[in-house]
Amino acid sequence: MSTLTARQRWTGLAVLVLAVTVVALDATVLSLAIPSISETLRPSGTQLLWIGDSYSFVLAGLLVSMGALSDRIGRKKLLLAGSAAFGAASLLAAYAPSPGWLILARALLGVAGATIMPSTLSLIRGLFPDDRERATAIGVWGAAATAGAALGPVVGGVLLEHFWWGSVFLMNIPVLLLLLVSGAWLLPESKDPKPGRWDVLSVLLSMAGVIGTVYAIKEAAAHGVDRWDVPVAFLAGTAALALFVRRQLRLETPLLDVRLFRDRRFTAAVAASLISLVGLSGVIFVVSQYLQLVRGYQPLQAGLAELPAFAGSVAGGLLTARIARRFGARTALTVCLLAMGLGVGVLGWMEQDTTYLLLAASFLLVGTAEGVVYTLGADLVLSAAPADKAGAASAVSETAYELGTALGIALVGSVVGSIYANGLAVPAGTDPAAAARAGESLGSAIETAQGLPAELARPLLASARSVFVDGMNSAGLLAAALLVGAAVMAWRLLRGLAEPEPRQSAAEVVDAPPAQPRVDA
């Protein structure tokens, strides 16, 4: 692939950007559709959380396995197959007749998405062997990924203003068709020349470990640890992860070379990406409901209100290489994690009538900082891994991204849901069935209030909105604390690591467009 011309390399990057944008968009586009789904399908509070995070849970559980598979069968081949499957699962989600079907469709989208994400980043490693060019390419790729996630609510708002909630899935179809045609034509194939066998037991252990552990954390945050399934799931998940690590150390060709975590750059980048997404995804999930159900915004208005996060994420991703060269990867990563903590922490003081300007400033700060953290983390991961294991290494980075997204929705959503359920004051005289329904979520309370007399509806709505905001305040402070902790961790892990000078041959300088330097630590 190193013989490709500059035009071929950058055209191939455009196809990969299209792919990663679709997958990232699908992780957040549903956030504004939650009220509409609640009204149409009538999911329970638990089902609502699973609709939100089943996609990311399955995606996170399979990314390492699919990344290793792409190294073996070919990254282009897996990318195109996954794109076709993503389109089929999108159709199923759009016309899901019940909450269970929608959860299943979102899980299938996760399976398909797991084949796309690691393939895109590992193909960049092959398309751009030069450090400087690759830093610029990853900056564009990272901007597309974070922008796709931030743009999801805006696109969802536009569609929901004119169509039913299923349209947020149907929008994937034309983009995926374009991706299949252009990808088959423009992308070169690449894979590990000596891949070894794909260990099925390792695949099962990684899935069981990730999904079991995350399920336990999610349910513990929502219901406490008293339920028998929470400790059982946690013990089973951690045991599976321990067995997975032990097996990888013994295999001649492991699914994931866990020795990569001995490199402090690799560990710092993965952990920073994971924790930053916990804050970002949880905030988007909760604030999207806050804007519509508390402040009364229409879906399109709510999507536009979150636009500063989109603008910031694009700018952050594109400026990452320049920022890292000027200040160093250690300083850039630490400061941006602290900036995210500050932006998310603003939610701890939001009220029902707080000026939008404060929320917009928070979105802009969080989006910009996340763009830098995500893009810099991806480059640190690729720089630490051997080229022939780019798929598996990329999958670790993407697993951190998707696991962070799932955990963010699970933890933040569960905290808000728990505070809401325990703090809701139902007016005396309300039918017990209606009271139980109102206690499931803010959307359910609003729907329930529509069938109650005015003297019962008004205090129910006032209490529901008030306790939801209380939950959002607590969740914002929790996410901010996690991000500050991540900043301290990154600063310590990257201490004492030299920053090598970027390298670029004279021929590549002539052939390449203006490039940014490598963001290596």
Q: pLDDT tens, 210-241? A: 778 877 876 776 666 677 888 898 899 899 98
Instruction: Read off the amino acid at residue 361.
Output: A
pLDDT above 60 for 506: no
φ and ψ at 279, to 5 degrees? -65, -45
pLDDT above 80 for 488: yes
Question: Quick one: average pLDDT of 34-42?
Answer: 78
Return the pLDDT at 400: 73
Q: Tokens for 423?
A: 């703090």
Neighbours of 514 (CB within 10 A): 7
Return the pLDDT at 385: 67
pLDDT tens readout for residues 80-119: 888 889 888 989 988 988 888 999 998 898 888 888 776 7
Name, of 20-34, 225-239, 375-389, the range with top average pLDDT.
225-239
pLDDT above 70 for 131: no
514 pLDDT tier (thresholds 50, 70, 90): very low
Question: Quick one: average pLDDT of 455-460?
Answer: 86
Question: Quick one: average pLDDT of 112-127?
Answer: 76
Question: Quick one: average pLDDT of 44-54?
Answer: 74
Q: Give the position of tokens 């970027």.
A: 502
Neighbours of 501 (CB within 10 A): 9
pLDDT tens readout for residues 173-224: 888 888 888 877 777 777 666 666 777 888 888 888 877 887 787 677 666 6
- What is the pTM for the complete model shown? 0.67
**Residues 48, 218: Cα–Cα separation, whole Å:** 13
Return the pLDDT at 425: 85
Average pLDDT of the chain to the nearest whole number = 78
Neighbours of 170 (CB within 10 A): 17
53-67, 140-154, 333-347: range with lowest mean pLDDT: 140-154
pLDDT tens readout for residues 404-453: 766 777 777 777 878 888 888 888 888 888 888 788 778 778 878 888 88
Return the pLDDT at 509: 33
